[in-house]
Structure 1
Amino acid sequence: MLNYLIVFLCSMVPLVELRGAIPIAHKISLDDPSFNIYLAYLIIAIGNMIPVPFIFFFARKVLEWGKDKPIIGGFFTFCLEKGEKGGQKLTAKAGRGLFLALLLFVGIPLPGTGAWTGTLAASILDMDFKSSVFAVILGVALAGIIVTVASLLGVSILT
């Protein structure tokens, strides 16, 4: 049970997310034959998606609130400006294909391109909540497939 909790919590951590939790689950499954890797995939996907609504509805508000505060203001302003500039570039390049662009952004497992960042970008771009969440879900599924295949082929971020 503890191993499932570990991969669940790892999948919720920014930057680690599903991309780190799947290789951890594969490592656990090598050491514990009773560990059900398929159940772990489901738990990891759920854990990766739990923060999404909170990020969508509150992250931008928190950044806006903190942009003029001492100590955190500079960083919060940087995050907002970076998100808005990135969003404008993405919108200009993607045009009506913003849904697909968000899906691919979340789905290509590179550092800083997961559900957390994708959802924040969707929020800053004022995308529709339902289509944003659907794009992120599909992106998480795509990333999960890519990371699983890479893990099965022996490519790992773990030593």
Structure 2
Amino acid sequence: MDAWVNYLIVLAIGASPILEVRGAVIFGLGMGLNPWMTLALGIIGNIAALPVAFWVLQHAHFREFMFGLFRKTAEKHMHKNKNFELYEELALFAFVAIPLPITGCYLGVLISEILGWNWKRSFLAISAGTVVSGLLMLLGAEGVIKLVNFAT
């Protein structure tokens, strides 16, 4: 398979809701692609999907649906946590930046939409978290590869 096809697959994996940039990096490294190009394409794919995710949730009236399900809990906590508004972008960034399962940008969009946060500020926080998550994944995977090669 040509390398450019693999790079297109990396881009598609980066945009996918399950694997996101973390899966794209692992796939690219496994295929022997340039690590930095793999990281860049995985991030581009992941961030390019964010506006679509925001648009879908906003037009599906998802927040109203979730708020209706958890009305009492939401009303109780939305009024008590005014100080949290100062840190919501930082919290969202940290949540997305930690490269663990389900802590990616799609769940970040979902959290942002449920809590009714400003989508532009959330987009920036999620994008920055995606870059950090991808970088941590690349450095960790490269370290493991070098360790395995050293041991053999």
Q: Shorter-chain TM-score: what band?
A: 0.7 to 0.9
Aligned to 1:110: 100
- Alpha carbons 2:97, 2:133 under 8 Å: kept: yes
The percentage of aligned residue pairs carrying the same residue is: 28
The answer for the alignment partner of 1:44 in structure 2 is 42
In the alignment, is residue 127 of structure 1 matched against residue 120 of structure 2? no
Q: Which has the larger radius of gyration?
A: 2
Question: Counterpart in 2 of 1:73?
Answer: none
Give the distance between the partners of 2:84 and 2:100, measured in 1 at CA.
Answer: 19
C-alpha distance after superposition, 1:69-117 (max 9, x if no partner): xxxxxxxx6xx75xx96xx59x948442000000011110111110111
**SS in structure 2 at match of 1:126:** coil
Aligned to 1:5: 8
1:26-41 → structure 2 map (5 Å cutoff): 26-29=29-32, 35-41=33-39
Q: What is the TM-score normalised by the length of structure 2?
A: 0.76
Residue type of the alignment partner of 2:138:
T
What's the RMSD between the two structures over aligned residues?
2.7
* Aligned with 2:90 (options 100, 123, 142): 100
Q: Note if contact 1:18-1:44 (Cα within 8 Å) is conserved in structure 2.
A: yes
Flag structure 1 segments of 5+ consecutive residues without an equivalent: 30-34, 68-76
Instruction: Tell me which stretches of 4 or more aligned residues in structure 1 moved more than 3 Å.
Output: 91-95
Count, aligned residues: 134
Correspondence for 1:152: 142
1:10 counterpart letter in structure 2: I
Task: State the Cα distance separating 1:37 from its structure 2 match.
Answer: 2.5
